[in-house]
Amino acid sequence: QKEEWAKLKDEPTITADKEQVELAANIGTPDDVDGVIANGGEGVGLYRTEFLYMGKSQLPTEDEQYDAYKKVLEKMEDKPVVVRTLDVGGDKEISYLDLPEELNPFLGFRAIRFCLENEDVFRTQLRALLRASVHGNLKIMFPMIATLEEFRQAKGILLDEKQNLKNEDKSVSDNIEVGIMVEIPSTAVIAKQFAKEVDFFSIGTNDLIQYTMAADRMNERVSYLYQPYHPAILNLISTVIDAAHAEGKWTGMCGEMAGDSIAIPALLGLGLDEFSMSSTSILPARTQLRGLSKEKMASYKDKLLSMGSTEEVIEFVKEKTE
Ligand code: PEP
Ligand code: MG
């Protein structure tokens, strides 16, 4: 089987009915790019920049960050690289930031909420990203966006730093797409409104599932409720994809669900454009997608979205993909 997968390393990801999707990888450090390339990744769909900030005693400087982003962009050549701005808090702790103890960290002061209140930290990262943008195909996304206002504010700061860099005679790419992670139900529900303003969506199912089902992703006791194939989740995903397409934008997914062999046929049918997963899942996913018909999976969309339970979804997908 491994030999079969290896043959597809340099092949595009094309379904049985000749529809193309993108298979990208999730990375945490520049060194992870070697694995992406070795496994035939067509891009980086999520670069979790937290690792630059973790396991240190102080904030990474603008130059340190610039070096890391440049390395990833250069190694990926002209392939798309989606970098997520700092997603601190929740399960991701950074000791020297002295974040307050909270009763519900997952519902608390994290990610974009932290960055908008600590603008100096945010601006340093954005400047490093903007400077690195000339070295490849950079896309920037903001995590944990719950309101349009947060997106507008974050994008405003990004444009402000871009102007500052230009005033300093530093070169910055003019083709950087700016998108958001959809991992909070409020954002999925009004994806139509967001789609007019963002360049793309990337669905973060790891968090979207926990917030939709109200089941902590770290809590074993309620893990039975953590259901990726629940019709509520599929409906939210579908809403996001349709909203993007209506505005000519694209939707990716960078949660674990994107590499799951039961989810993949359903996501293909819902119209997902980019699947981002751990590098080692890419070739198995490409193999699976080459055997699937997008048109056929799309014909099951209404049926899937009207189902009442996870079990029904699993059974149906298995039956239709046998
Ligand atoms: C997600 O929430 O699905 C996601 C990709 O982000 P993280 O797992 O880093 O929270
Ligand atoms: Mg998340």
- Cα 319 to Cα 262, 284, 313, distances in angstroms: 11, 20, 10
The protein residue whose alpha carbon is closest to atom 7 in ligand 1 is 206
Strand partners, 274: 22, 252
Output the CA angle 49-94-111, nearest 5 degrees: 55
What is the DSSP secondary structure assignment for residue 223, as one 8-state letter? G
CA–centroid distance, 210 to ligand 2, in Å, is: 10
Please report which ligand is nearest the Cα atom of 91: 1
The protein residue whose alpha carbon is closest to atom 8 in ligand 1 is 206
Q: Would you say the CB of residue 206 lies under 6 angstroms from ligand 1?
A: yes
Which residue, among 107, 290, 155, 277, has the nearest Cα to 204 in the 3D structure? 277
CB 13 within 8 A of CB 40: no
Which residues are tagged catalytic?
Answer: 254
Q: What is the CA radius of gyration of the chain?
A: 19
Angstrom distance (rounded) from CA 250 to CA 7: 28
pLDDT for position 235:
98
Reading the block at residue 310, the tokens are 């996870």
Which residue, among 106, 296, 65, has the nearest Cα to 204 in the 3D structure? 106
pTM beyond cutoff 0.95: yes
pLDDT tens-digit profile, the chain (322 residues): 788 888 999 999 999 999 999 999 999 999 999 999 999 999 999 999 999 999 889 999 999 999 999 999 999 999 999 999 999 987 778 889 888 889 999 999 999 999 999 999 999 999 999 999 999 999 999 999 999 999 999 999 999 999 999 999 999 999 999 999 999 999 999 999 999 999 999 999 999 999 999 999 999 999 999 999 999 999 999 999 999 999 999 999 999 999 999 999 999 999 999 999 999 999 999 999 999 999 999 999 999 999 999 999 999 999 999 8
pLDDT for position 320:
96
pLDDT for position 151:
98
Specify burial of residue 110 (Cβ count, 10 A radius: 0-12, 13-18, 19+). Answer: buried
pLDDT for position 91:
75
**ipTM rounded to 2 decimals:** 0.99
Q: Would you say the CB of residue 204 lies under 6 angstroms from ligand 1?
A: yes
Q: Would you say the CB of residue 278 lies under 6 angstroms from ligand 1?
A: no
CA–centroid distance, 207 to ligand 1, in Å, is: 6
pLDDT for position 34:
98
CA–centroid distance, 182 to ligand 1, in Å, is: 10
Specify burial of residue 28 (Cβ count, 10 A radius: 0-12, 13-18, 19+). Answer: middle
Angstrom distance (rounded) from CA 66 to CA 109: 26
Q: Would you say the CB of residue 228 lies under 6 angstroms from ligand 1?
A: no
Q: Which residues are annotated as a binding site?
A: 48, 84, 183, 206-207, 217
Greatest pairwise CA separation for the chain in angstroms: 60
pLDDT for position 5:
85
